[in-house]
Structure 1
């Protein structure tokens, strides 16, 4: 076996020496020819040292393994150079030098790991030095295979044909080293057959390298490593170093632990593995690693292509509502774990619309408030921590009270659409500290504008859908009118014949059947048209009279509503019929939602310059999600025979009068509708009421 190993490694030395001479002479003008020639020379010296090593003589092991380290380092360096030449960026070291420094530090660390026991030996003279040295060799092989994989993956498809044989050849050497030393760690001794075949395996890679060098004119020298690759590579490399260190520590625990050695080793390794998994799945650690990579390896904080693809993909994908996706997409740019979204409405307020990993506040912000005006005019991203230290930088604009109480509030990102404030996103503090420089601020601004366009498109789509539904409703009314016309024709014919045949018993029976059919038909039509919009005739009304009539119409139902008039002198400007229908609809809803033994209370009182009407019940109640997403949406109804426009019409008409409709509910506990209407007077007369 000794003669076979000698022949194997001697052949390897001759093959790499020949390839090195070709690179130094005929192929000296090829890309990276000097680095390739140096790697071939080191490999040839390493193979020659093994071939000349006398059987049983371990005095030269230190030189052999030192050359083995240089061999692995040389081919790893070649892989780094083949990955591309990176243009120098202002104020930073060329990117291609930084991986070289990282690799050099890694090799040095692995070397110290292997020699920690006092010597670098793969023999059996010192068992304590044997396992760490083999583990270090496994780490070098894993690192080499990782570099090969990254090199091939990041090459454009049209350039892979020129580099693939070099990847196969160099990767084959590292892969065989991994196989050799993994087998050694498993059986705690080197397999002589695998060791002897190593020279032949390395020799077989020479033709692959030569064939790839012949195509080296097509090797690209412009390649950039993406941030995703750097992130995963750094995480994988750090995990490998961590596992090697923990494995070595576990080995020494077993060696010095006596009878408890095995138990201590297994417990320690399991705990170390659990800790590693926890760190790798930690959002804070991942955010910190991304920030470190962007800060130390790149001039710019973002890979804009990747960030914009991810941002657009998040906004476009299915799943939670668009509001939550907007918060998630904007927050991901600065590693924020959550936030809330406010959107402007026709009422003149920015209302809370969605929350992501945060409690959604209920406070609204008027669009004419100093804070909203500041956001619209300056289009600035407001850093709440910076504002607390230096409010003069933001013109000392007063912050809303609800913003001061927002949990872990950090940034307010305005959503600007066509020069107007469409809404705002309030983000929570990030998992890892972020430097808010001009690049981050500009990215948040343009992301806010993009998000505003998505939200506006959704709002326009919803408005178009409502318009189409109303068009369908009007079309249905046309058919109802047609049915009424037929009924009127039948009754007119019946009336015209009554005088002539009124004494005929058969005619009387037919007349009664026709009348009964017509009544049933008209009742059905009235139920369908009971919520149709009638012409409005606004005038000063005694509000207590309107409310008493609405309650009286529901007196036959159970539970019977109770009415409390706090001030009977209140007057409002409204259309009597429409206002009574709105109040009647809300009372009817309360009756239908309450059990027979429940209670419905209606109260009217004066509150400042407005009249306040509260309709409370002890029914089943409604969830916050239902109130926010479905209650005021037209054609959404939980009743089997409902048309879903009653509450929508009620809020629209109350808003048309200059008032407001508020809802509070709990499950169980009941629901309270609160109606605020401006009183008839100087202020009320200035309100423009649409007829």
Structure 2
């Protein structure tokens, strides 16, 4: 008797909160439909507190309890629907309103009629399923209110209150489906939770009822919101488990025994799979990391930062310097370099505090290292934290990587057109926390692709500008061809008339020979301007001897050192001679008379290397990268057109070769020409 009195007092205490809520609703809420729906919900909650049984089991659900529970859910659904319509600026369709209110009145009438009826509900399991489905429907409406940008603060707080109530009820009813004898403390806590949430709702009405029509800036992130699909799947899972439990009861199978069997089978299978298959184990770790743990990076911020870094280009920087700076800043690197694809090699085009020993490293486009970068987009980790997969691939790393100090990773720069290049990034200090994970690799590869696309676009833009400049140059050349034709005709006439004066002194013979030679050279120039080049096999040794002889009148005199005599290439002899002659003259111009200009010819397998070395004034790296090969950019004031170095490089490229420049101010320069041996 005392226990019943205590329970009754607790029920009245819980009901007092609902009564206070009803009073607050009447005085604070101004919108009539929202006021009436909230007031009805509060009144139903008062009745519910007085009618809820003290104990519960799956087989002891009475008609009265089923009806008051249904009435409570209907009241909450009506409140949530009105708030949702208010947030969307629409009205609840009449058919919905009439149906809900009609159902609510019928349910209330049946409850009053059966208030003293202690008869049990004919199908308690069906009643539990019905309540779970009503709670899931309430979830859907709550989610819409929470996600809406136009919901007021009071609306979102009311949705959160309803969400808490529905969540706890689903847990309790699911446990009843799984086990008919529920822990009564869990059941009696429903009343306490209802009162606490009603208190929260009352406070939200007191503070925010005047802002019911105003939009709230408060919005939960996507990581917190429970979406419709997820909620439906949870409900389906619970119902499936309950049906499985019912099947076990129907066939008189012990739930505990079945659970043990399932647990043992799944445990053995999981242990075997995770122990025997490292791939499954690592895949499981990555999958759980992706879906159940917070990400290491905010990808939106990383993307914005990369875009900002690539957009900040100074006049003294080219696209390679900008790309290297962006990679260094994004991954907190101390040094690095970028290698870009040429005709035969990947050559270094940008460096920042990169320290290595030996000559400037290059990498053949056919090496295994390059193939792994392009085909597998492998990120090489060349440090003490490299895992066993890195150790396997690191065998393909070129030898010069070992000479680079503090190497961290080698990052491929892949675009749609293929491997544009690769970046070597260095870090002075590495700790255990900086070991590469799947998330680091994803971000590195994504960044590499974006940088490669940026370099491709900049290269295409630069090529377009050069083509426009050469288009103008070609128009000028058309007029030059016309003038050369006239000059040839005039000089030919001079040669023809000069034959009449052979009896004159030998001076006339010299003039005739000079003019005839001029006619021959201009005729050759005319053919080249028309594009009638003919590729022939060139003996490079003989060509170099001729080039040296042509420059013996200037100082310092060039010296030729050769290790092979049968160096032959395929191409235009005159163009190649002009290119080498131009490089020798430039070396002499940059070197004092007491200095040295040396030509070194080396052969290795099917490769020919020609180094033209001087001890002249040299060039800095900024000049080499930004000005040396820029067309129409002459350093000789009015004495040149500014296409010499550019034209030399294009001639070498036309022979499938490479031109690599190394220079140090006040020390000297080295122009290395690679040419494939003629087959």
Structure number with greater Rg is: 2
Q: Give TM-score scaled by structure 2 length.
A: 0.49
